[in-house]
Amino acid sequence: MLCCRGLDVRRRDTLVLGGVDLDVRPGEVLGVLGPNGAGKSTLLAALCGELQPAAGDVTLDDRALAHWPGAERAQRLAVLPQQSTLNFAFRVEEVVGMGRLPHASGRARDAEIVEAALLAADAAHLAGRSYLALSGGERQRVHLARVLAQLWPGAQGQTLLLDEPTSMLDPLHQHTTLQAVREFALRGAAVLLILHDLNLAARYCDRLLLLGDGRPQVLGTPEEVLRAEPLKAVFGLDVLVQRHPERGHPLIIAR
């Protein structure tokens, strides 16, 4: 399990993230919400070792993240960045196949996993095409398939960190993508994702962390977090919170 305790991150002497205690629990989808500049991506970067915390520590299975050998860590922890800068004409399945680089599972098994991961990200039809010929949303799904393949099939002890995985997707694919992530968690993996859409967060996350000004404001179930007062306090936005007529989770409507 990926945990952090008393996490502080500074950039040039400014505290950009402070006092975060968090467990990314197996089988659970944890959503991180917050306005621009609240420290969401900073949190994710600190959790995957990209940023060195000024104080506190990050552990993976009770071992400091920095002490994990690269390949072993990569078998347990996968990260999807917000944007990719890949500028080479790999075929789609080659990009997804890179998720298998930390493993030595053999060419045949890797090909099966790539296929399954592409299917899960609703990108199976893109196989064989050049990555550079894809649209932004298609590329995003291919990278999602890549990180899914890295941890495939998803089991207890594995953690997936996703930075705005739906930012470039159409409404249908926002749902299919998050559904795939949910199913991944159902198989035992722990998932942390950054989201902007409050209603998507309400529907697909088990717990939510609301960040504001680099500090955790509320941590709890969607029902606990998605209330008018904390949302007003953090986002400065007046909202109505209702119940989804069919599914029962909170439904947030701007006033």
Partner 1 sequence: MSASVRSRRLLIFLGVLLVLAIWLSLALGPVSLPLLDTLRAALRMVGLPVTAAGLEQAELILGQIRLPRTLLGLAVGAVLALSGVAMQGLFRNPLADPGLVGVSSGAALGAAVAIVAGASLGGVPAAFEPYLLSFCAFVGGLGVTALVYRLGRHDGQTSVATMLLAGIALTALAGAAIGLFTYMADDSTLRSLTFWNMGSLNGASYARLWPLLIVALAVSLWLPRRARALNALLLGESEARHLGFEVERLKRELVFCTALGVGAAVAAAGLIGFIGLVVPHLVRLIAGPDHRILLPASALAGASLLLLADLVARLALAPAELPIGIVTAMIGAPFFLYLLLRGRA
Closer residue to partner 1 (CB): 164 or 197: 164
Closer residue to partner 1 (CB): 90 or 235: 90
Residue 130's beta-bridge partner residues?
Answer: 91
The SS3 assignment for 22 reads strand
Using rule CB under 8 A, residue 77 touches partner 1: yes
| Paired tokens of 95 | 């990009």
Using rule CB under 8 A, residue 79 touches partner 1: yes
Site string for partner 1, 17-56 (x = CB under 8 A): -------------------------------xxx------
Using rule CB under 8 A, residue 81 touches partner 1: yes
User: Do 217 and 233 contact (CB within 8 A), yes or no?
Assistant: yes
Using rule CB under 8 A, residue 87 touches partner 1: yes
Which of 55, 64, 101, 253 binds partner 1 (CB under 8 A)? It is 101
- In 3D space, the residue among 192, 231, 241, 191 whose CA is nearest the CA of residue 211 turns out to be 231
- In 3D space, the residue among 179, 114, 111 whose CA is nearest the CA of residue 150 turns out to be 114
Which of 40, 73, 203, 207 binds partner 1 (CB under 8 A)? It is 73
Which of 1, 15, 54, 74 binds partner 1 (CB under 8 A)? It is 74
Q: How far is the CB of 94 from partner 1 (least distance, A)?
A: 6
Residue 204 CB neighbours (<10 A): 24
Q: Return d(Cα 13, Cα 59) in angstroms, integer.
A: 24
